Amino acid sequence: MNFFKALFGGKEEKPEDKKKAEEEKDFDVLKYDGVRALRSGQYDYAIRCFTHALGMKEDLEIRDYASQAMIRADRLPEAFEQLRKIAEAQPENMQVFIRMANVAYMMEDYTAMADACEKAILIDNTDAEAVYLYAKACIGHGDTTNAIAMLTKALTLNPEYHEARLLRAETLLSTNDTDGADEDTTQLMKNNLENEDILILKARIERAKGNANNAILYYDKTIEANPFNANAYKERGELKTEMGDETNGLNDIKYATELLNQQDGNAGNENIEKKVGDAYKNANPFGV
């Protein structure tokens, strides 16, 4: 064999080159299997593949995939750690900090969330999403004054940021500023006449103002938009009872309890998928 290699100019493969090629092949197999497992919902297996691959060599794309799998497996601190390592390698990649803020929000770690938002804002102080998330961190800390200020800034940066306007309305209502909350809600209703979150907020504002009949009207509209909105039934039932209509009020409350019991049984996986959607919405630094 060596004679023919010498005769035809062939070069014998060195052991170290062969080992390196095998390692590269193993790495690619682990990555492929991990991505396939991630997309098919086999999150624990995906995590094992990605963890093994990262043990072979550093790869930021693999860390990103691993963070996705860990979120879906509800292993949030591990996902946050993967994102932290990406952020260390790419300190100017603000979308990583946005992602970290979302994961910290899922963990209810509002200090870590605020820290990630601050770093994102330092990179780009005109990014409305980073400011909005910072407001959510403030709310988590019970700091409604700064939350309202940050939401106002987010809306200044993007007047069409409906999530920020809705959250500001909810926050204003929590401080008993019903007029401010109503102003935001009225603005939202111009283009979102069938949005259940806006309709139920309008009902709560009318109830806080003492306009019981108007509140009932908007609870009705909320239920028309979503017949399975347990909170709308519960709050409408409470209000009807306060108004003296105990029979219909208690029926609403009873039905709300039945809906909540049904929803609790299916909440686990749906909540995780919603968390994933929130965490990765408009925050995908590697395009994967």
Residues 168 and 155 sit within 8 Å (Cβ to Cβ): yes
% of the chain residues with pLDDT over 70: 86
Taking phi over 0 as left and psi of -120 to 50 as alpha, with beta for the rest, 287 belongs to left
Helix (H) or strand (E) holding 201: helix 196-209
Q: How many residues does the chain have?
A: 288
**CA separation, residue 245 to residues 64, 214, 219, 237 (Å):** 55, 16, 15, 9
Q: 203-245: per-residue pLDDT in tens? A: 999 999 999 999 999 999 999 999 999 999 999 999 999 999 9
Q: 92-120: per-residue pLDDT in tens? A: 999 999 999 999 999 999 999 999 999 99
pLDDT band, residue 185 (cuts 50/70/90):
very high
CA angle 138, 140, 144 (to 5 degrees): 45
CB-based burial, 75-91: b 16+ in 10 Å, e otherwise: bbebbbbbbbbbbeeee
Residues 260 and 252 sit within 8 Å (Cβ to Cβ): no
Helix (H) or strand (E) holding 165: helix 162-174
244-258: average pLDDT: 96
Angle between the N-to-C axes of helices 128-140 and 144-157, in degrees from 0 to 180, rounded to the nearest 10? 170
pLDDT of 288 above 60: no
CA angle 249, 251, 252 (to 5 degrees): 65
Residues 63 and 54 sit within 8 Å (Cβ to Cβ): yes
Stated pTM of the model: 0.84
